[in-house]
Copies of this chain bind each other. A is one copy, B any other.
Amino acid sequence: MRIGQLAQLVGVETQTIRFYEQQGLLPPPDRQDNGYRVYTEKHGEGLAFIRRCRILGLSLAEIHELQSYQDDPHQPCTAVNALLDDHISHVRSQITALQALEKQLVSLRASCNDDREVEACGVLAGISEGNMHQ
């Protein structure tokens, strides 16, 4: 299977596959005589794994870490679970931060109606005056 077919199968762009190979996330495939990459089913599974991790918001470094655990399957899986726990708490703190931000933005927006000049805009004034409780 060549790179285009693999790309279509998994739903990524060919450049992305080459990028993952370059980053050490996907093992370098064999080459045809003309230099074309030839992929196996295993590559397909590996690529799908990477993509599902990305959908879960894992960084390439975290994926790399998971792969290193997969390479040593008789270790206890505490490290895997811990990685996910860390990721969950990271996501949660992002949510918390964004919710606080939303509150701030909404209150800022409430300080202006649409019938003013820029000079008197409550939004700009609110930012400029810096009444921001961090």
Contact = CB atoms under 8 A, between A and B. Distances in A.
Q: How many copies, total? A: 2
A119 interface: yes
A114 B109 CA distance: 47
Contacts of A78: 114
A60 interface: no
Query: Which 7 pairs show the lowest CB-CB distances between chains A and B?
Result: A77-B121, A73-B119, A73-B118, A77-B118, A95-B98, A88-B105, A77-B116
Contacts of A121: 69, 77, 80-81
Nearest to A117: B74
Contacts of A134: 55
Nearest to A58: B127
Interface residues of A, number: 53
A80 B124 contact: yes
Main DSSP-derived SS at the A contact region = helix
A104 interface: yes
Contact of A56 (B105, B114, B115, B118): B105
A71 to B, nearest CB: 9
B101 A56 contact: yes
A57 interface: yes
Interface string A70-88: 1011111110110011011
B85 A118 contact: no
